[in-house]
Structure 1
Amino acid sequence: DYDLGFQRSLKMTEPIISSSLMLYSRAAPCGKSSAPLCISNTMNPTFEGYLERQYLFEATQQLIKREKHLFGEKTEADGLKDHEEAVKKLAADHKALEEHVWQILQKSLSLSTEEEVSALTSAVKAINLEEEQDQLWRQRCRTTPAWRPKKWKEHHDKVLHELVYSRLENPSSPTGDQVNQSPIRADVQSMGRQLKEDLQWVVEVVKNCYPPEMDICNFYARQYHQTFSARLKQIADFVLDDKDCSFLLRWVKEFYPGDLMIYIGRVLDEAKKEWDQGKEPTRYDDCYASPVAYDVIQVQLLQQNKMKEAEIDLFLIFCRYKEFHEDIIRQNKPHSKAFIKANLSCVKQFRYVSDPNVRENCLRGLTEMKQSAHTYLLTPVHKILKPHYQKVGTSDWLKNTFEKLLNSTEDELQELQGSTQSCHQELIGQLQQEMTVEYVRRLLKGEVKLKDKDRQLKAYETVKENAERLHELFGSKQDWLKEILTKIAEVLKLQDIPAIQMQIVSLGSAYPDLSEKHVSALLKLKTNLSRADRKIVKTTLSDTLKESRADPGTRKFFSKV
């Protein structure tokens, strides 16, 4: 039932068309014409005469009568040559009739005289008569004429669809204030005004030319609704400024309730479809891109305009998107990494939610999505680097085997490319942090024994150089990771207990998650330190941490070791 769709189409251009529904309710029921067709009683009118006077129904009747004669039971008197000529003439007349019918249909929304209105009524009756004749021929067990089935009803629908499309594509009614409107807003307003005028014409004039069963009012309502919606989507595919986006989305949200949710849902469905088909997401500037991210940006404009219902829609879409993200990781297909890289940029866009309640729910899930994406992309990297990690903190490590770890890492960094610049930096920043954590963990295992000052100095130089090279490889601004390794290197170099105490306190003050166990493991590498010396240093750290309150915003590092 498209009564609701018809009313929505009229409502779409409010307040421009506030009177249209009243006109619709006042108009006579479909098919009950207030001006019945009047035909002159001309004696034996010819087919050409019918066409000239636009009596298309009567012309159709005459052609059907000739068709029955030519394709019915033939007698021996029927000459073959005369029959062929008559069939050719009938085919030509059918073509001429069709042209007249389609011409008047194309004028349905611009009928200018009573004669044209009567001609449309006659054309509609002709179409229905031809449909009946098509049905009769389907029931006969004999060869049909070349022009059967004619499928005029199907062609009728196509002609009107194209008519509606052309009316909205090239609206004839400009809006009043074209000067102060952007081209986008002027275009939408013009389409709205054209839609209003055309649907008014349908309820006042056109529907009286049709029988009730053809339900022409709702047919036009469907055509305008579908065409207008498609046109809005086409406009939305352009890069719009904030004002145009806001204007367009406001139309969609207010005049097509639920369509915005449906539209973005379809974008997500399309992404899922590409995933199922094994396709990689589109790349722009060598970065994988998700179309969902762009549409999320558009939804934000609704929130800025205080359309709170869109905020709820956004959370529902986010939940669906999170499920899709998790499914990609779970299935682990060859193109999963490409989709996860595209999703990272989309996750970033979801962070700009204005409603506090929705933002809290979204941010929790977004953090989980980013962490799961990083884990999915980085776990294979750590697996490849594991043999090189195992060298850290061993005697071989002091022989500069760290170069192999750096070379392998550089190769893996190339494989991690494909997300946007900011997302890529966050990803490799996470990798640098995890590699530093693994480096310290391996070092504190205590496999290497630094028995004297020379070996401790060698270890200092190795750790310090490793920190510099790792920082240089990632080209990041994460100086704090380099600082941690440098402070650890200083502890390995120092020989005086007071100096070691000061360095440990400095490290513990900067990173309060440094525990006595970490300090004990580090000091045990210096095998020339006594248990009593180690206890003094640990006690100093413990007392310092008790006296000072850790800043809640302080980075955590050693708790991960």
Structure 2
Amino acid sequence: MIPQFRVYCKHLQKMFCFSPSVITTFEELLNTKCFHEASQLLIEREDRLFGEITEAKALKDHNDEVDKLAADYGDLETSVLHTLRLSLTPGEVSTQALTSAVNAINQEEHQDQRWKERDRTPPAWRPKGWKKLHDDTLRSLVEERMDNPSTPPAVQVDQSSIQADVTSMGRQLNADLLLVVEVVKNCYPPELDICNLYARLYHQYLSARLRKILDEKDSANLLQWVYYYTEILQKPQLELTTYIGRVLEDAEEKWIKGEEPTREDGCFVSPVAYDIIQLINGRVTVAEKLVRDRSKAQNITCQLKGLMERFKTFQNKIIKKNRSNSRPFIKANLGCIEQFTDVLLNRSQLFPKKVQEHCVLILRDMKQSAHTYLLKPVHESLKPQYRKLGTNEWLKKHIFDKLLESIKQELQELQGSVKSCHEELIGQLHQEVTAEYVKRLLKGKVKLRNKEQQEEACDMIIDNAESLHELFTNTGSKEERLRKILTMIAEVLKLQGLPAIQMQVVSLGTDFPDLSEKHVSALLKLKTNFTRADRKTVKKTLSETLKDVNCVAVRPFFSTVQVK
């Protein structure tokens, strides 16, 4: 035996029980599936035959060795491809053998590249192109397994033969991709991204088969198994419900442990919405490309109603338990609610209409309950100052200044949501404080007996309105209309003549159609010099005007202000 044709594989001693004194030949390496070492041995022979001597001499004097090398390469290629074809059959090939085959392929690709860089004519077998052979072999393997699934279709009573076949393919896809994720990918270097390669091959196969399926029931069935990218690689569970459930469980586990959500730029954020949206978008988009029918692809998101209910239940639990980390989680949830709402409204093509409408309502309720939870402690803290509004003491400026100072302190505690959500939360507080202000004023604890007192009250309300507006808009509120409400109320108190008051009340009612006769009556009662008959006239005028113009309050205000 030629000494150059021998190699000692020290790292194989333990695997194959070789003695340190044993030297292995190419044939022995091939038989023990040491493909990487066998490839290295052939490359050394190749470099010797075509490197150390001239090209002419190699062809003239070493034809036998060249022919033997070509034959050995053929045997190695056959063995490597055979190993690849068994890579999805557990028990037929070891992970060590598959790893060695993959390393051999990479090694041969590098040798191809080295020959491209050499200024010599390469051997007839170069370039070998084993990477393309690898991909073609896997493509053929995928097609064979999907054409002949290991689990034959069991036709159910409510299934067509096509649907049963599709279900069988789905089971095969499921089993194969899980095997790739759990076993095969460990035999490949990360840069080859073998999971995505297999996923693309299954996608291409399913896409071709699906276009032949016209029955909606069959198409919907296949959508349960359709290819979707990152999730199939990261999660062994292939169902939308299971995956989203896991996302919510991870968030809940973090909350139970007492941890706070992640902070980005000082704001609490949660991956819940992002992860779920990416999953839904990926699955529906790919499914639509496959079936060329949006309504069929939307079947995937029919489960979203129940999943959104689970999200709501999770938030309700956070609020009910009121742990030390509950407020940070609710602030993070506001960002999720905004993201979900944005997708539901602006990417409606992903969802059936009823699913979209139902989920939007759930999210609206969740946002309101989150706002209520975060703002309730604020109002509790402000109650002592609220009680003095609309009283004789209120006409002293320092009383309202104390309220402003307390609000400033509470605003600090509300920080932590992403900017857009924080602005909306502050806008909600702005409205609620203004509504509380109006409610206290309409309680009638202050009596404005003459023109001077009424003008003083008018000036005070306008000044208060400006102060509230400045405070809240500087911290994010976009509620410009609230200043207008207080200013118009102040003008009603200032005006003296019945016609002028009628016009002002009608103007207020037109701009804010949820203004009721009760509100008007309570407001006019503050003017003790305004007769009951005049109040009745003003209310009648308002009622007739609103009836004629048929106004609808887009953003209610007075309906949140309860009066007796």
Normalized against structure 2, the TM-score is what?
Answer: 0.61
Q: Which residue of 2 aligns with 1:336?
A: 326
Q: Which residue of 2 aligns with 1:287?
A: 267
**Equivalences for residues 68-83 of structure 1 within 5 A:** none
Q: Distance in 1 between matches of 2:388 and 2:333?
A: 35
RMSD of the alignment, in Å?
4.9
Preserved CA contact (<8 Å) 2:228 2:282: no
The one-letter code matched in structure 2 to 1:389 is: Y
Q: CA deviation at 1:430?
A: 0.9
- Asked whether 1:468 is paired with 2:449, we answer no
Give a deviation string over 1:351-407, Cα, whole Å, max 9, x none: 223221210111111111111111111111111111111111011211011111111
**Equivalences for residues 85-234 of structure 1 within 5 A:** 104=33, 107=36, 159=96, 194=134, 197=137, 223-226=179-182
Structure 1 residues 488 and 109, CA gap change in structure 2 (3 angstroms): farther
Q: Distance in 2 between matches of 1:116 and 1:234?
A: 23
Q: 1:259 aligns with which of 227, 234, 238?
A: 238
Q: Which residue of 2 aligns with 1:529?
A: 530
Q: CA deviation at 1:275?
A: 1.3
Q: Which residue of 2 aligns with 1:40?
A: none
**Equivalences for residues 438-457 of structure 1 within 5 A:** 438-457=436-455
Q: Which residue of 1 aligns with 2:506?
A: 505
Q: Distance in 2 between matches of 1:196 and 1:549?
A: 71
The one-letter code matched in structure 2 to 1:281 is: P
Structure 1 residues 57 and 495, CA gap change in structure 2 (3 angstroms): closer
- Asked whether 1:366 is paired with 2:345, we answer no
Structure 1 residues 500 and 276, CA gap change in structure 2 (3 angstroms): same
Structure 1 residues 117 and 479, CA gap change in structure 2 (3 angstroms): closer
**Equivalences for residues 51-66 of structure 1 within 5 A:** 60=17
Structure 1 residues 165 and 441, CA gap change in structure 2 (3 angstroms): farther
**Equivalences for residues 306-455 of structure 1 within 5 A:** 306=294, 307-351=297-341, 352-353=343-344, 354=348, 355-400=352-397, 401-455=399-453
The one-letter code matched in structure 1 to 2:419 is: Q
SS in 2 for 1:283: strand
Q: Distance in 2 between matches of 1:266 and 1:534?
A: 62
Q: Distance in 2 between matches of 1:520 and 1:58?
A: 95
Q: CA deviation at 1:412?
A: 1.7
Preserved CA contact (<8 Å) 1:464 1:486: yes
Q: Which residue of 1 aligns with 2:558?
A: 558
The one-letter code matched in structure 2 to 1:489 is: A
Q: Distance in 2 between matches of 1:557 and 1:168?
A: 72
Q: CA deviation at 1:474?
A: 1.1
Structure 1 residues 195 and 504, CA gap change in structure 2 (3 angstroms): same
The one-letter code matched in structure 1 to 2:459 is: E
Structure 1 residues 441 and 416, CA gap change in structure 2 (3 angstroms): same
Preserved CA contact (<8 Å) 1:265 1:317: yes
Give a deviation string over 1:151-181, Cα, whole Å, max 9, x none: xxxxx977569769989999969xxxxxxxx
Structure 1 residues 290 and 50, CA gap change in structure 2 (3 angstroms): closer
Q: CA deviation at 1:520?
A: 1.2
Q: Distance in 1 between matches of 2:385 and 2:393?
A: 11
SS in 2 for 1:288: strand
Q: CA deviation at 1:489?
A: 0.4
Give a deviation string over 1:411-445, Cα, whole Å, max 9, x none: 22221121111111111111111111111000000
SS in 1 for 2:444: coil
Preserved CA contact (<8 Å) 1:56 1:101: no
Q: Distance in 1 between matches of 2:237 and 2:270?
A: 22
Q: CA deviation at 1:452?
A: 1.7
Preserved CA contact (<8 Å) 2:260 2:325: yes
Q: Which residue of 2 aligns with 1:145?
A: none
Q: Distance in 1 between matches of 2:321 and 2:418?
A: 24
Q: Distance in 2 between matches of 1:554 and 1:228?
A: 59
Give a deviation string over 1:101-131, Cα, whole Å, max 9, x none: 9995574998967699999xxxxxxxxxxxx
Q: CA deviation at 1:59?
A: 7.9
SS in 1 for 2:487: helix
SS in 2 for 1:513: coil
Preserved CA contact (<8 Å) 1:109 1:202: no
Give a deviation string over 1:175-207, Cα, whole Å, max 9, x none: xxxxxxxxxxxxxxx999857636979999xxx
Q: CA deviation at 1:264?
A: 4.0
Q: CA deviation at 1:287?
A: 1.5
Preserved CA contact (<8 Å) 2:33 2:97: no
The one-letter code matched in structure 1 to 2:558 is: F
Structure 1 residues 510 and 339, CA gap change in structure 2 (3 angstroms): same
Preserved CA contact (<8 Å) 1:168 1:195: no
Q: Distance in 2 between matches of 1:506 and 1:419?
A: 37
Q: Distance in 2 between matches of 1:271 and 1:164?
A: 42
Structure 1 residues 275 and 535, CA gap change in structure 2 (3 angstroms): same
User: What is the number of equivalent residue pairs in this alignment?
Assistant: 407
Q: Which residue of 1 aligns with 2:115?
A: none
Q: Distance in 2 between matches of 1:427 and 1:519?
A: 29
Q: Distance in 2 between matches of 1:274 and 1:432?
A: 32
Unaligned runs of 5+ in 2: 1-5, 40-71, 81-92, 111-129, 145-173, 197-224, 289-293
Unaligned runs of 5+ in 1: 1-48, 64-89, 120-155, 174-189, 205-217, 236-248
Q: CA deviation at 1:296?
A: 3.3
Structure 1 residues 486 and 234, CA gap change in structure 2 (3 angstroms): farther
Give a deviation string over 1:11-58, Cα, whole Å, max 9, x none: xxxxxxxxxxxxxxxxxxxxxxxxxxxxxxxxxxxxxx9989x99899
Q: Which residue of 2 aligns with 1:269?
A: 249
SS in 2 for 1:259: coil
SS in 2 for 1:392: coil
Preserved CA contact (<8 Å) 1:296 1:350: no
The one-letter code matched in structure 2 to 1:197 is: T
SS in 2 for 1:278: coil
Q: 1:297 aligns with which of 277, 293, 298?
A: 277
Preserved CA contact (<8 Å) 2:416 2:422: yes
Q: Distance in 1 between matches of 2:508 and 2:358?
A: 36
Q: Which residue of 1 aligns with 2:515?
A: 514
Q: Distance in 1 between matches of 2:532 and 2:504?
A: 18
The one-letter code matched in structure 1 to 2:524 is: L
Q: Which residue of 1 aligns with 2:457?
A: 459
Q: CA deviation at 1:224?
A: 2.1
Q: Which residue of 2 aligns with 1:73?
A: none
Q: Distance in 1 between matches of 2:433 and 2:378?
A: 10
Give a deviation string over 1:265-307, Cα, whole Å, max 9, x none: 4333222221121111111111211112222332235445443
Structure 1 residues 486 and 118, CA gap change in structure 2 (3 angstroms): closer
Structure 1 residues 55 and 467, CA gap change in structure 2 (3 angstroms): closer
The one-letter code matched in structure 1 to 2:441 is: L
Identity rate of aligned residues, in percent?
45
The one-letter code matched in structure 1 to 2:258 is: G
Q: Distance in 1 between matches of 2:502 and 2:15?
A: 111
Q: Distance in 2 between matches of 1:434 and 1:168?
A: 69
Q: Distance in 2 between matches of 1:170 and 1:540?
A: 92
